[in-house]
Structure 1
Amino acid sequence: MRIFLNHACLVFKIQINTHDGKRRNYFMYSSFLGFPVLLCTPYYEKPDGILVYYKAEVDPAYIGGEKALNRFLKDNLKFPADAEDEGLEGTVYVDFVVSKTGEVSDATATNYTYEKTDNQFIVEALRVVNLMPDWVPGSQNGEEVNVKFSLPITFISR
């Protein structure tokens, strides 16, 4: 176990050997102010038993890089007509999983800013993310893994 001091918080890094012989890292955060301890893992397990990392050593990447991703979004996103007529704008944060084979799946819209986002934008953002071609998968310890990815998509009226 390692202990780190981070401002008003203790961070414990614990390595545990699992039943399959692999070593997993867990992080515990404990505040000096009496807040509860939080136990975090670098991944979660889907109901079907598949592990998905929140953050991998090597993140997934869109084939062709950020410029190619922006081109894909520009070519495929359609500004909803009703939203344009009403002069609406907004940002949709889409979370999705890039599988160990590069496939994009499990797209969901989240609201990190707690601002109301028009449903038309959410529907369009999810439609386009579900159209995406395969990505270069992320990797952990030299092995390709499933990684959760978050992409903000902003709709600006022109």
Structure 2
Amino acid sequence: MPEFPGGMPALMEFIRKNLRHDKAEKKERVIIQIVVDKKGNATNPVVLRSTNPALDEEALRIVSLMPKWKPGRQAGKNRNVKFTFPVTFESSDKGLQ
């Protein structure tokens, strides 16, 4: 399996730090699939589960900012591997009613 630098906790932190929350009206989650290529690049992002087009666009923007991953390996060779993860949006006015 490919690995984000620092593992899954680092991936979730990267997403949290780079996400623009102002596009969400409530807590919503977009599911993204990428291919981590043999060189560790996050390529071919696809929205597997959409909530609305603005959030989909923001989730895809986050993928474009990602650093290189540790590529997946099989039989001692780097391989292209699909990887799926959630991007969770929370309302910027959380707690206000």
Q: TM-score, structure 2 length as denominator? A: 0.86
Amino acid at match of 2:35: V
Unaligned runs of 5+ in 1: 1-58
Contact 1:94–1:151 at 8 Å: present in 2 too? yes
- SS of residue in 2 equivalent to 1:134: coil
Distance 1:136 1:117 in 2: 29
Partner residue in 2 for 1:20:
none
Partner residue in 2 for 1:73:
15
More strand by share: 1
Aligned equivalent of 2:35, options 90, 97, 101: 97
Partner residue in 1 for 2:56:
122
- SS of residue in 2 equivalent to 1:80: helix
Distance 1:90 1:62 in 2: 23
More helix by share: 2
Deviations 1:52-83 (A, max 9, x none): xxxxxxx00001112221221111000134x3
Unaligned runs of 5+ in 2: none
Partner residue in 1 for 2:74:
140
The structure that has the greater radius of gyration is 1
Question: Alignment RMSD, CA only?
Answer: 1.4
